[in-house]
Amino acid sequence: MFIRNLVMAGLLALPLMAVAAEDPAVASLSQRLVALQADMRTADAASFEKLQAQQAIAALAKAKRKELDNARYLAERRVAIAETAARTAVAAREVDQLERTRSELLIEASRREVAKARQEAERLRMQTQIQAEEAERLRLAAEAETLARQDAETALTSVAGRQQQRLSAAQQNAAKLAREEAELVSGQRLPASKFDGRGEVFTLTGDAFAAGQASLSAGAANQAKALAEYLNIGKKGRVTIEAYDSANGVGQRRAQALKDALVAAGVSAGRVQVAGKKAASTRARSAEVIIAP
C-alpha cells in the first residue's frame, strides 16, 4: 500500500515537473500535494480536494503574467484545503476507531458486570433475609423503647418548659437591671428596645437625625452615651448598627456616626459593625442597634 501511494504521488507530480523550475510556487505546492498523497494516513482521504488542488497548480503553471497572482493564490488555497480536509478525515477515522474500541470495552465490561451482579444478587438475597428477621426483632424492641421514651419526653418537656420560662424571666430581669444601671451611670435615657430573633434591638426614632443628614441630634447623642454604658455592662455579644435613609449613602453615614459616638463613649470599635439601608427613615425608626444573643 505504501509503495502504491508513492507511485501515485509520483504520477501526480509528473505533469508539473516541466514547469516547476520556472515557478518556485508550483514546485512548492506540488511537493506539498505529493507529500499528502505519500502519507499512508492521508493517501486515500480528501480525493476531490486533492484533484482540485492539482488542477489549480496546473492552472498556475500555465497562467499568464497578468493572471499569475490570482492563480497562485487559488492554488495555495486549494492545497491548504486539501491538507485540512485530509487531516480532518484522518482525525474522524481515529475518533471512529476510538469509539469502536470504547464500545467493545464497554460490552466486555457489561458482560463481566452481569456475572458479578448475579453473584452479588444471590449474596444480597441471603443477607436481606437475615436482615429482615433482625429488623423485625429490632422493630419490636424499638416500639417498646419508643413508648418508654415518649413517657420520659413528656415529663422532661414539662420540666424544660418551666426552666425556659424561669431562664427567660431571669434574662429579661437582668436586661432590665442593666438598662437601669446604664441610665443611672450615664444620666441619660436609653432608646426603646425589644427582643426578637436577631437579639436585643434598640430603636432610634426619626428625630435622631435631621432630614437627609448623618449627624446625631442632641437627644440621639445622649441615647448613644446610655447605650455605650449598657453595652459595657456584663458580657454582651457583638453589635450591629443598621441605619436608614432613602438617599444614596446617607444610611451608611448615619450608622457610622452612631458607631463613632459609641466608640467615643468607651465601646470597643471591633465589637461594632455598621450597615446602611437604602430605605425610608420613618418617624418610628431611623436606626437600630442590634445586640447579638
The mean per-residue pLDDT over the stretch 135-158 comes to 74
* Contact predicate 272/242, CB 8 Å: no
Position 253 scores a pLDDT of 97
pLDDT digits (tens, 9 = 90+) for 169-212: 776 788 888 899 999 998 999 999 999 999 999 999 999 999 98
Position 288 scores a pLDDT of 97
Q: Which helix (H) or strand (E) holds 276?
A: strand 272-278
**CB contact burial 171-187 (16+ within 10 A = b; e otherwise):** eeeebeebbeebbeebe
| CATH T-level fold of 175-291 | 60s Ribosomal Protein L30; Chain: A; (3.30.1330)
Cα–Cα distance list, 6 to 14, 27, 51 (Å)? 12, 17, 16
The mean per-residue pLDDT over the stretch 36-56 comes to 87
pLDDT band at 152 (very low <50, low <70, confident <90, very high): low
Q: Does the pLDDT at position 258 exceed 80?
A: yes
Question: Any idea where the domains of the chain sit in the sequence?
Answer: 2-102, 175-291
The mean per-residue pLDDT over the stretch 264-278 comes to 94
